[in-house]
Chains A and B, each alone.
Chain A
Amino acid sequence: MADKYSADTIITETQKRISNAFDVFDHESNKTVDVREIGTIIRSLGCFPSEADLHDIIAELEEEEPTGFVRYEKFLPTMTKILLERKFRPITEDLLLQAFEVLDQQKKGHLEPEELTKYLTQEGEPFTQEEMDEMLSAAVDPDKNVILYKDFFH
Chain B
Amino acid sequence: MKTTAFIANLFNSSLFISDLSRVLLKAMKAAVLIQRWYRQYAARMEVRRRYTWNIFQSMEYADLQDQIKLYNFLGYLMDNFTPSSTERNLISHIFRENEVCRDAEWERYFSYNNITVPDIYSGPRLTFPLDMDQAAHLVEAFKNKQQLHSRYVLQLLLETWKLLRVLPNINRVSTCHSKEITICGDLHGQLEDLLLIFYKNGMPSLEKPYVFNGDYVDRGKDSIEILLILFAFLLVFPGDVYLNRGNHEDHIINLRYGFTKEVLNKYKLHGKRILKLLQKIFSWLPLVTVIDQRVLIVHGGISDTTDLALIARVDRHRYVSALRPPKKKTPSRTNVYADSERYDEMIICKNRRGSLTFPKPFGARESFQRRSLQDFSSTVARTLGEEFEVRRRQAEFSLSSFSKSHRILSSALSSDSEPESSEFTDTGNDEWKQILDLLWSDPMSHDGCIPNEVRGGGCYWGPDVTEGFLNRHNLQLIIRSHECKQDGYEFCHNRKVLTLFSASNYYEVGSNRGAFVRLGPDLVPYFVQYQATSMTRGLSFPQNVKRTEHTALKVLREQLFVHKSDLLSAFQEIDKENTGLICLNDWASAIERVLHLDLPWRVLHPQLVSSTTDGKLDYHGWFRDLALKKPSSEHIEQTMLETLYRHRSTLETIFRIVDTDNSGLITFEDFRQTLKLLSAYLKMEISDEVINELVISTDTNNDGSIDIDEFMEAFRLVDKSRLERGKSLLKLMQDNQSLPQETESPQTVYSTAPQTSQCPASQPADPPVSNTTDSACSQTANPPASQTGSLTEDCPASQTEDLCHISVVVPPQ
Which A residues lie at the B interface, using CB under 8 A? Answer: 1, 4-5, 12-13, 16-17, 20-21, 23-25, 28, 39-44, 47-51, 90-91, 95-96, 98-100, 102-103, 119-120, 123-127, 131, 133-135, 137-143, 147-148, 151-154
Residues of B contacting A100 in the complex (Cβ-Cβ under 8 angstroms): 30, 34
A81 to chain B, nearest CB (A): 19
Shortest beta-carbon distance from B248 to chain A in Å: 26
The answer to whether A40 touches B779 (Cβ under 8 A) is: no
With A124-B28, A142-B787 already in contact, 8 other A-B pairs whose C-beta atoms are closer than 8 Å: A20-B601, A20-B603, A24-B51, A48-B37, A91-B37, A95-B33, A103-B27, A125-B31
Question: Does chain A have a CB within 8 A of B812?
Answer: no
Question: Are the C-beta atoms of B40 and A48 separated by less than 8 Å?
Answer: yes
What residues of chain B lie closer than 8 Å to A13, measured between beta carbons? Answer: 585
Residues B27 and A40 in contact, CB atoms below 8 Å apart: no
Question: B54, A138: Cβ atoms under 8 Å?
Answer: no
In contact, A50 and B540 (Cβ under 8 angstroms): no
Query: Are B39 and A142 in contact (CB-based, < 8 A)?
Result: no
B790 interfacial by beta-carbon distance below 8 Å: yes
Q: Is B782 an interface residue (CB 8 A)?
A: yes
User: In the complex, are the beta carbons of B602 and A16 less than 8 A apart?
Assistant: yes
Within 8 Å by CB of B540, from A1, A21, A49, A137, lies A137
Smallest CB separation, B126 vs chain A (Å):
44
Residue of A nearest to B789 (CB): A151
Q: Contact between A99 and B603 (Cβ–Cβ < 8 Å)?
A: no
Q: Is the CB of B775 within 8 A of A48?
A: no
Given A16-B602, A17-B602, A39 and B39 contact (CB-CB distance below 8 Å): yes
A21: chain B residues within 8 A (beta carbon): 47, 600, 603
Does B791 lie at the interface of the complex (its beta carbon under 8 Å from any beta carbon of A)? yes
The answer to whether A96 touches B33 (Cβ under 8 A) is yes
Asked, given contacts A24-B600, A103-B27, A123-B28, whether A44 binds B34 with beta carbons under 8 Å apart, the answer is: no
- Main secondary structure on B side of the interface with A: helix
Nearest Cβ distance between residue B426 and chain A, in whole angstroms?
A: 39
13 interchain pairs, CB-CB under 8 A: A16-B585, A17-B603, A24-B47, A48-B40, A91-B37, A96-B37, A98-B30, A119-B31, A124-B35, A125-B32, A138-B791, A142-B782, A151-B789
| Minimum distance in angstroms from A49 CB to a CB of chain B | 7
Contact A137 to B603, CB < 8 A, known contacts A48-B40, A99-B33, A100-B34: no
> Which residues of chain A are near B602, meaning CB under 8 Å?
16-17, 20
Q: How far, in whole Å, are A124 and B25 apart by their CA atoms in the complex? A: 10
How far apart are B347's CB and chain A's nearest CB, in angstroms?
Answer: 51
Complex Cα distance, B36 from A43, in Å, reads 10
Please name all residues of chain B whose beta carbon is closer than 8 Å to the beta carbon of A126 when the two chains form the complex. Answer: 35
A141 to B787, CA, bound (A): 8
Contact with A along B36-62 (1 / 0, CB 8 A): 111110111011001100100000000
Contact check, B43 vs A152: say whether CB atoms are below 8 A apart: no
In the complex, are the beta carbons of B27 and A20 less than 8 A apart?
no
CA distance A39 to B614 in the complex (A): 31
Closest to B54 in A: A24
Residue of A nearest to B783 (CB): A142
Partner of A50 from B36, B46, B585 at Cβ < 8 Å: B36
What is the chain A residue whose CB lies nearest that of B32?
A124
Q: Which residues of B have CB within 8 Å of A16?
A: 585, 588, 602
Q: How far is the CB of A132 from chain B (nearest CB, A)?
A: 10
On chain B, the residues within 8 Å of A96 by CB distance are 33-34, 37
Known: A103-B31, A148-B788, A154-B792. A91 touches B445 (CB 8 A): no
B-chain residues with CB within 8 Å of residue A141 when the two chains form the complex: 785, 787-788
Q: Which residues of B contact A147 (CB under 8 A)?
A: 788
Which B residues fall within an 8 A CB radius of A? 26-40, 42-44, 46-47, 50-51, 54, 445, 540-542, 585, 588, 600-603, 614-615, 775-777, 779-780, 782-783, 785, 787-792
The answer to whether A91 and B31 touch (CB under 8 A), given A13-B585, A141-B788, is no
In whole angstroms, what is the CA distance A85 to B605 when docked? 24
User: Bound state CA distance, A125 and B29, in angstroms?
Assistant: 10
Inter-subunit contact A152/B39 (CB<8 Å)? no
Contacts of A98 in B (CB 8 A): 30
B777→A137 contact, CB < 8 A: yes
Chain B residues within an 8 Å CB radius of A49: 36
How many contacting A-B pairs (Cβ < 8 A)? 147
CA A41 – CA B777 in complex, angstroms? Answer: 25
Bound together, the chains give a CA A17 to CA B588 distance in angstroms of 11
Whether the pair B47, A137 counts as a contact (CB closer than 8 A) is no
- Cβ-closest 5 pairs across A and B: A43-B43, A124-B31, A124-B32, A123-B31, A99-B30
Residue of B with least CB distance to A119: B31
Residues of B within 8 A of A39 (CB): 39, 43
A134–B42 CB distance below 8 A: yes
Are A99 and B34 interface neighbours, CB within 8 A? yes
Beta-carbon contact of A138 and B50 below 8 Å: no
Whole-angstrom distance from the CB of A53 to the nearest CB of chain B?
Answer: 9
Q: Evaluate contact between A153 and B36: CB separation under 8 angstroms.
A: no
Instruction: Give the Cβ gap from A149 to chain B, nearest Cβ, in Å.
Output: 9
Structural contact, B788 and A151, CB atoms closer than 8 A = yes
Give chain B nearest CB distance to A82 CB in angstroms.
14
* A140 vs B787: C-alpha distance when bound (angstroms): 9
Query: Are B51 and A123 in contact (CB-based, < 8 A)?
Result: no
Alpha-carbon gap, A90 to B614, bound state (A): 24
| A16-B585, A135-B38 known; A40 vs B601 contact (CB < 8 Å) | no
C-alpha gap A95/B32 in the complex (Å): 12
| Docked CA distance A77–B711 (Å) | 55
Quick one: which of B29, B31, B776 contacts A120, CB cutoff 8 A? B31
CB pair B445 A28 closer than 8 Å: yes
Q: How far is the CB of A65 from chain B (nearest CB, A)?
A: 20
The answer to whether A23 and B600 touch across the interface, beta carbons within 8 angstroms, is: yes
CA distance A120 to B38 in the complex (A): 10
CB distance from B394 to the nearest CB of A (A): 40
Distance (whole angstroms) from the CB of A152 to the closest CB of chain B: 5
Known contacts being A39-B39, A134-B42, is A120 close to B34, with CB within 8 Å? yes
With the chains together, A3 CA to B44 CA distance in Å?
A: 31
Supposing A40-B47, A91-B33, A134-B541 touch, asked if A152 and B789 sit within 8 A by C-beta, the answer is yes
Contacts of A120 in B (CB 8 A): 31, 34-35, 38
Q: CB-nearest residue of chain B relative to A22?
A: B600
Question: Across the interface, do A119 and B50 meet the contact criterion of CB distance under 8 Å?
Answer: no
* Complex-state Cα separation, A15 to B459, whole angstroms: 37
Using known A-B contacts A139-B788, A152-B792, determine if residue A131 contacts B37 with beta carbons closer than 8 Å: no
Nearest-CB residue, chain B, relative to A5: B615
With a CB–CB cut-off of 8 A, which chain B residues contact A153?
792
Q: A16-B585, A139-B791 are in contact. Are A47 and B28 (CB under 8 A)?
A: no
Set A12, A20, A40, A138: member contacting B46, Cβ < 8 A: A40
CB–CB B792/A138 < 8 A = no
B26 CB contacts on chain A under 8 angstroms: 102
**Chain B residues with CB under 8 A of A143:** 782
**What residues on B are CB-neighbors of A139 within 8 Å?**
788, 791
Contact B31 A25 (CB under 8 A): no
Which one, B50, B51, B788, contacts A152 given CB within 8 A? Answer: B788
Nearest to B790 among chain A residues (CB) is A138
Once bound together, how far apart are the Cα atoms of A103 and B26, in whole Å? 9
Asked if B790 and A4 sit within 8 Å, CB to CB, the answer is no
B775: A residues at CB distance < 8 A: 133, 137
Q: B541, A137: Cβ atoms under 8 Å? A: yes
Determine which residue in B32, B601, B779 has the highest number of CB atoms from chain A within 10 A of its CB, and name it. Answer: B32
Across the two chains, which residue of chain B brings its CB closest to A49? B36
